[in-house]
């Protein structure tokens, strides 16, 4: 073997060794999440966009089934086997993880300046001193409707409570469509798509929610009982057997074209786009009287935090800073129409239905679901009790007043507002 050949082999060996060393030093970050529906979006769009700008960092998205996520995550965190990044549910569930020192303080993370205090509120301590998850997206409530049905019946988009019920009466009288697709069997639908959808109109959104937390208002006050009085009237428009109707049943009734209106969360957009064979539109919760301020539930839904015990904290922070960027916001919101960016930089939505929902931010006052912050930390849990009573009111088994009294009594049993 010639010296030249030997030198060549040694050089090649050295290069291969360096390449192997560089490859060995790649850091792989794992993201824990309940959003198994998002696996393809992370694998095909988000992760390639990040990795292209951050050589040496690989990302793995490892979701768990939504109903199993909280228990599985807690077990992994306790065992020290959880991923580097933790997808955060809003408010108390994530606050508890932070208080247990499972989530790191991200207050000073570069990129956090891209979010308003309201956007960060679901992942900030009660005293406002620390933020522990990067806000990713919110969901907006309103009503999705069958445009073809509205056109056939000559119905204009309702903007007031009276117009809303007039539209329902017209649909019911025609007889070709169930006026509104919602069941009460699963309970949460009645509260989330019903009470929390229309309620902010009556308790004045954040104003009423803050007063409830401070003890300046009670659930038995008129502003909190009135949405139940409106919900009680929904019973006549939900079709036969709505008491036994599940959430998937409601979705199917609407997407099959059998119902004209669907009380909605914006997360339905992606599914409905693939299933409905008719044109759809959306309108915000009707105001009580023409000219009243409009309110929407624009609810912080998903964030992402740093496992305080991650072995790759610095690399994970680079990913979190990228998740804080307008680039991430644009890819994420347009890949998942109906999950709206919480970034202060506005995202131009490509999907028309998503465009409609997000446009309400310009004309309506946003709030979050009234039960999520502070008020569901005790027993009985106000969120779960609101599910039950919302269904009871629609079913006609409790009056609005009785439902409100039960909820307030449960809250009084453990919650003492700070003075």
User: Are 263 and 251 in contact, with CB atoms under 8 Å apart?
Assistant: no
User: Are 341 and 137 in contact, with CB atoms under 8 Å apart?
Assistant: yes
| pLDDT confidence of residue 419 | 56
User: Are 148 and 276 in contact, with CB atoms under 8 Å apart?
Assistant: no
Contacts of 139 (CB under 8 A, 6+ apart): 265, 266, 267, 298, 299, 301, 338, 339, 340
Rg (CA), the chain: 25
**Which residues does the chain have with pLDDT short of 50?**
1-23
User: Are 132 and 106 in contact, with CB atoms under 8 Å apart?
Assistant: yes
- Within 10 angstroms of residue 74's Cβ, the number of other Cβ atoms is 16
| pLDDT confidence of residue 346 | 87
- Within 10 angstroms of residue 154's Cβ, the number of other Cβ atoms is 7
Provide the token pair at 330.
């644009």
Provide the token pair at 103.
């989530």
- Within 10 angstroms of residue 93's Cβ, the number of other Cβ atoms is 15
User: Which is it for strands 178-180 and 340-341: parallel, antiparallel or unpaired?
Assistant: unpaired
Tally the residues of the chain.
419
| pLDDT confidence of residue 357 | 97
- Within 10 angstroms of residue 418's Cβ, the number of other Cβ atoms is 8
Omega before 380 within 30 of 0, i.e. cis: yes
| pLDDT confidence of residue 21 | 40
The span from the CA of 3 to the CA of 5, in Å, is 5
| pLDDT confidence of residue 8 | 46
Beta bridge partners of 31: 61, 85
Q: Give tens-digit pLDDT for 312-354.
A: 999 999 999 999 999 999 999 999 999 999 999 989 999 999 9
Give CB contacts under 8 A, 24+ apart, made by 408-416.
Answer: 408/218, 408/219, 408/220, 410/380, 410/382, 410/385, 411/219, 411/375, 411/378, 411/382, 413/378, 413/379, 413/380, 414/378, 414/379, 414/380, 415/374, 415/375, 415/377, 415/378, 416/215
User: Are 374 and 126 in contact, with CB atoms under 8 Å apart?
Assistant: yes
| pLDDT confidence of residue 25 | 81
The span from the CA of 119 to the CA of 122, in Å, is 7
């Amino acid at each position: 073997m010639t010296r030249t050949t030997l030198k060549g082999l040694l050089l090649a060996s050295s290069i291969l060794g360096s390449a192997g060393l560089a490859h060995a030093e790649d850091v792989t970050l794992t993201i824990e999440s309940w959003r198994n529906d998002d696996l393809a979006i992370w694998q095909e769009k988000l992760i390639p966009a990040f990795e292209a700008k951050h050589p040496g960092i690989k990302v793995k998205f490892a979701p768990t089934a939504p109903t199993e996520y909280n228990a599985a995550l807690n077990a992994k965190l306790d065992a020290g086997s959880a991923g580097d990044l933790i997808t955060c549910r809003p408010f108390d569930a994530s606050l508890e993880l932070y208080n247990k020192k499972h989530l790191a303080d991200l207050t000073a993370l570069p990129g956090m300046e891209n979010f308003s205090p309201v956007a960060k509120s679901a992942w900030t301590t009660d005293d406002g001193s620390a933020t522990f998850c990067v806000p990713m997206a919110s969901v907006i409530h309103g009503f999705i409707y069958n445009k073809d049905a509205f056109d056939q019946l000559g119905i204009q988009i309702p903007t007031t409570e009276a117009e809303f019920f007039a539209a329902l009466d017209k649909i019911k009288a025609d007889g070709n469509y169930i006026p509104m697709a919602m069941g009460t069997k699963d309970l949460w639908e009645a509260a989330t798509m019903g009470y929390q959808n229309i309620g902010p109109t009556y308790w004045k959104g954040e104003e009423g929610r803050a007063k409830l937390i401070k003890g300046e208002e009670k659930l038995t006050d008129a502003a909190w009982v009135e949405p139940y009085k409106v919900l009680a009237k929904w019973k006549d428009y939900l079709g036969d057997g709505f008491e036994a109707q599940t959430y998937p049943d409601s979705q199917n009734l609407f997407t099959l074209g059998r119902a004209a209106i669907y009380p909605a969360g914006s997360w339905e957009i992606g599914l409905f786009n693939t299933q409905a064979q008719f044109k759809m539109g959306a309108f915000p919760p009707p105001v009580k009287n023409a000219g009243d301020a409009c309110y929407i539930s624009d609810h912080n839904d998903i964030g992402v935090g740093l496992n305080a015990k991650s072995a790759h904290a610095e690399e994970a922070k680079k990913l979190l800073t990228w998740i804080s960027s307008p680039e991430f916001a644009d890819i994420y919101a347009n890949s998942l129409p109906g999950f709206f960016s919480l970034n202060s930089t506005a995202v131009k939505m490509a999907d028309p239905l998503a465009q409609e929902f997000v446009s309400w931010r310009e004309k309506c006052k946003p709030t979050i679901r009234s039960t999520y912050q502070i008020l569901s930390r005790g027993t009985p849990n106000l969120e779960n009790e609101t599910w039950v009573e919302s269904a009871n009111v629609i079913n006609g088994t409790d009056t609005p007043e009785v439902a409100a009294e039960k909820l307030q009594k449960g809250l009084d049993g453990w919650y003492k507002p700070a003075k």
